């Protein structure tokens, strides 16, 4: 299937969020980044006392900055500054040398992920993009990774995601685990640009890769395939991600090289809930929904209109959702109107540091998807007939 979301269209989708992302003054941005980055480093190290101290420092920085802001302004509007602090970690990163192969072993010993560090990796200068490589034939090792084009190896971290030993009925269990653990582990070990996570898959591996992407389209920025997509792929879901089917590995790498970053906060999307383990799409999480019936999945269509501070939800066989929110989607200083299958509900949403941290952890340390607010347990009225 050819890509239906072009690169130009993807950029246009991202423009509203970019246009509404203000920036703190340089001095205040540095104070916030240092405090937030120190907390991230302490959280990864796992020292409870250091985490508490660092969180207190974040609150002090917030209090000082908020005093300088206008009455109708608040620090949680500055998504880019929060993102920079979370990604930068106050410069505290494990040692990693560009060009080296490395590996991550899961704490329970059940999985080892091999990855190659980008030649140009320099964490003090910024995050680097990553390619999750599902290789032709399903097996990827050091030899296959090193055979990628030189310009790819210079710019991208490349992680091997192996599926050669999995049966088709394991794609959504162990395959899902390997895919998501790769993102989570490397986000902890390296300074990544989480807005530029790409999936590269060919041959037999294109099927499990395309299926996993279609069920969690908010994770990657783009997908390049040189093989057939899985029969179980929901076309509309895959269309939420810029993707391209090409003839070979060289073409796939060339496409990724010029692909845009992810639009983290789309304001209008529709998602089919084809599997019970995959309820999240971007900033919406379906908690209760029916399984597919006669080949038809439950669907969730969501639109955020910041001009009217309205979120419209149209759901078919989805009964409850959570919404992760920020000031790119709605104005959190004002009441938000929810229209759920035609029924209106007005709510007040309060952003907070605890919620921002909770969501950052839950979303695998995603530094380019910042949500300081969450609406939990929103019931969706059933439309009869």
pLDDT single digits (tens) 50-87:
999 999 999 999 999 999 998 888 999 999 999 999 99
Q: What is the pLDDT of residues 122-160, one digit of tens each?
A: 999 999 999 999 876 656 788 889 999 999 999 999 999
| Residue 235 burial (CB count, 10 A) | 11
Interstrand relation of 318-325 and 373-379 (parallel, antiparallel or unpaired): antiparallel
| Dihedral angle sign, alpha carbons of residues 379, 79, 198, 241 | positive
The residue behind tokens 């091997």 is 160
Q: Which two tokens stand for residue 7?
A: 């690169």
Residue ranges of domains in the chain, CATH in brackets: 7-91 (no CATH), 101-257 (3.40.50.1820), 268-379 (no CATH)
SS3 content of the chain, % helix, strand, coil (to 5): 35, 25, 40
Bridge partners, residue 29, by sequence: none
Cα end-to-end distance, the chain, whole Å: 34
Rounded Cα distance between 370 and 363, Å, is: 10
C-alpha 17/C-alpha 115 separation (Å) is 32
Is residue 374 within a helix (H) or strand (E), and if so which, with residue range?
A: strand 373-379
Q: How far apart are CA 251 and CA 264, in angstroms?
A: 26
Name residue, tokens 């989805």: 318
Residues 194-213: tens digit of each pLDDT: 999 999 998 888 888 999 99
From CA 146, how far away is CA 80, in angstroms rounded?
Answer: 34
- Alpha-carbon distance of 142 to 145, in angstroms, equals 5
Token representation of residue 115: 């990855």
Per-residue pLDDT tens listing for the chain (385 residues): 333 344 334 443 444 444 457 999 999 999 999 999 999 999 999 999 999 999 999 999 999 999 999 888 899 999 999 999 999 999 999 889 999 999 888 877 777 889 999 999 999 999 999 999 987 665 678 888 999 999 999 999 999 998 888 888 888 898 899 999 999 999 999 999 999 999 999 888 888 899 999 999 999 999 999 877 777 787 789 999 999 999 999 999 999 999 999 999 999 999 999 998 899 999 999 999 999 888 889 999 999 999 999 999 999 999 999 999 999 999 999 999 999 999 999 999 999 999 999 999 999 999 999 999 999 999 999 987 6
Please, are residues 224 and 187 in contact by the beta-carbon 8 Å criterion?
no
* pTM for the predicted model, two decimal places: 0.91
Which three-class secondary structure state does DSSP give residue 251?
A: helix
DSSP 348: -
Backbone angles phi, psi at 112, to 5 degrees: -125, 125
Separation CA 64–CA 162 (nearest Å): 48
Q: What is the CA radius of gyration of the chain?
A: 21
Could you tell me which residues come within 8 angstroms of residue 303 by beta carbon, excluding any fewer than 6 positions away? 267, 268, 311, 312
- Site of tokens 């809930």: 273
């Amino acid at each position: 299937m050819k890509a239906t979301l072009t690169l130009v269209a993807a950029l246009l989708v991202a423009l509203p969020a970019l246009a509404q992302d203000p920036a703190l003054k340089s001095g205040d941005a540095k104070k916030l980044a240092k405090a937030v980055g120190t907390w991230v480093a302490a959280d990864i190290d796992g020292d409870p006392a250091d985490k508490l101290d660092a969180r207190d420092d974040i609150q002090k920085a917030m209090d000082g900055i908020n005093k300088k802001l206008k009455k109708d302004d608040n620090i949680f509007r500055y998504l880019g500054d929060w993102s920079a602090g979370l990604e930068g970690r106050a410069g505290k990163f494990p040692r990693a040398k560009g060009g080296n192969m490395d590996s991550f072993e899961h704490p329970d010993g059940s999985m080892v992920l091999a990855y190659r560090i980008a030649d140009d990796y320099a964490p003090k200068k910024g995050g680097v993009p990553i390619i999750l490589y599902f290789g032709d034939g399903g097996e990827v090792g050091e030899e296959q990774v090193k055979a990628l084009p030189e310009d790819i190896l210079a710019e991208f971290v490349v992680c091997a995601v192996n599926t050669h030993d999995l049966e088709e009925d394991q794609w959504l269990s162990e395959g899902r685990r390997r895919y998501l653990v790769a993102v989570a582990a490397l986000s902890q070990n390296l300074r990544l640009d989480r807005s530029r996570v790409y999936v590269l898959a060919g041959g037999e591996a294109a099927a499990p890769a395309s299926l996993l992407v279609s069920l969690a389209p908010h994770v990657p920025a783009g997908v390049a395939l040189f093989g057939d997509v899985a029969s179980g792929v929901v076309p509309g879901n895959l269309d939420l991600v810029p993707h391209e089917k090409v003839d070979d590995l060289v073409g796939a790498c060339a496409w990724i090289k010029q692909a845009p970053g992810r639009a983290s906060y789309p304001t209008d999307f529709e998602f089919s809930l084809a599997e019970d383990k995959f309820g999240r799409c971007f900033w919406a999480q379906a908690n209760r929904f029916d399984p597919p019936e006669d080949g038809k999945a439950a669907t969730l269509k969501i639109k955020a209109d910041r001009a009217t501070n309205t979120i419209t939800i149209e759901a078919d066989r989805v009964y409850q959702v959570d919404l992760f929110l920020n000031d790119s989607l709605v104005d959190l200083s004002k009441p938000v109107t929810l229209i759920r299958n035609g029924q209106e509900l007005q709510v007040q949403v309060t952003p907070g540091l605890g919620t921002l941290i909770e969501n950052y952890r839950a979303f695998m340390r995603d530094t380019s998807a910042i949500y300081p607010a969450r609406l939990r347990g929103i019931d969706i009225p059933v439309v009869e007939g």
